Structure 1
Amino acid sequence: MFKKEGFGSKLRQVRKDNKLSQFDFVSQLANAHKEFTGLSQTTLSLWENGKREPSFLRRIAIARFFAEGYAMSEQEKKFVSKTKATEIGARPSFYPVSITDIVVIDYTRLSEKQTDVVSKGHEHFYNEPLAETMSAFPESYYSVSLLMNENAIVGHYIANNAGIIVSFCFIDNSVAIKMVLDLDGKFTSVVLPTRTPAIASFFQDLHFEPYPTASRVKFYKGCLRDLYNNPFFKDLLNNNADLVRFSKAQKG
């Protein structure tokens, strides 16, 4: 468990336990999150020796990087109590939904019922009609991947052959993880929609670049494998929005 007191020595211990040199650790942090862009081995040495202290956001992020908890001081708890909760676009996975099948179908061949579910899900997620979102892109062939729990659709994504994902909706985070895994087997680079401003900002922090369209929905482009392997994205999929929340608070 990380905490402010003795953070540097804990960091050094965990880094070594994970067999990471200072160079490798600094490089991986910078590649995973823009908050660590420009971080030097010299600064890391100062942190580990207790001669300098990383910011609260960086302390939280480093704990998340190693998938460890962080015990907050009373002062940190007061800061946290003043930050607003961040809605990340998914229901909690208290009871993960099992996926019994993934049905892939041409968008134009969806049944009336399937079209209704997909369209309503998209509009609920992104506050924009699906047809309006799709019209922001050049006309293309789209396939729809329906994630099924028996006869119920519990998630979907709509993609063309170029990896443009015009809709990405899910009932809970366990379904989202399955969808990301499914995409990972099909595309290298993707264009993904985001539901909230906080997540849009977080995508940029994880080195995804804005992809301009005429849609009100924000899209970001990047390497899907890098995203899926990113420890901070894994943390988000595990329904932990703390880093998103604190990043937003720091940015004002």
Structure 2
Amino acid sequence: MKQVTFENIYTPAQIVLENDLYKHFHFPEMLLRYDSNFIDFKKMPSIEEFMSAASYLREYHVKNGQKHVKFTFPENEKLHAPLEEYLRSEEYSIGYLELYSINPSQFPELDEKEDIEVKVVSDDNFEEFLALQYKQDLQFGSEFADQKVRLYKRYLQDSKIVQLLAYYKGVPAGTVNVIVEAETVEIDDLAVSEAYQKRGIGSRLQKAVMNIDPTKLVILVADGEDTPREMYQRQNYQYHGFKYNTQKVYEDK
């Protein structure tokens, strides 16, 4: 396949506006999901262009009862100093994501562990999957967790999305959503319950992803300032690039 880019990453949202400067993504089914409600700049904006886009997005979000604005910037471009200075002065948070891929055959071999079992989510175990996810999503508030339930139900009916549930000694302990495209298999929202971390569950979930279609490249994005990226590097994932983002949450609507 061609070079992997952030364009290969699945975004559950619709483009409601596109111009020469940016694309505006909006997902009315889940207004609290920042990663589905944002502006993606096609080219690095000037301060004036950013201010104009921010004013537009803020007004759009206020009409929908949304308290945040979020922006992503062109792939593999660092923020220019004046823009970064402006964002910090306006109390925007700034971060970046990193893009990784791996050929399934390059994923490390794992020792057999009878305590861990990974199953594909179906109607039979969907409630167990939901219960574990809900508990994890509650850290972002009950309204967010409720909206996420609707998203997971939508995923269950989507033929290109596979949901996996890991059990530790029969107890639900980890989850991941997998987006299967024509040339890639994407790992999304991999999470292990705090009580069962450091037992190899995350690796088992990844191994199950590798087995979905060994002919396709497995891709994922990781927070550039978080520790899981170090694990991916140890597991032979290949780094492809970065993408900066910024967001601001308003106390009032």
Q: Pick the structure with greater CA Rg.
A: 1
Check whether TM > 0.5.
no
Bigger relative contact order, structure 1 or 2 (CA pairs below 8 A, ≥6 apart): 2
TM class, shorter-chain normalised? 0.3 to 0.5
Higher share of residues assigned helix: 1
Higher share of residues assigned strand: 2
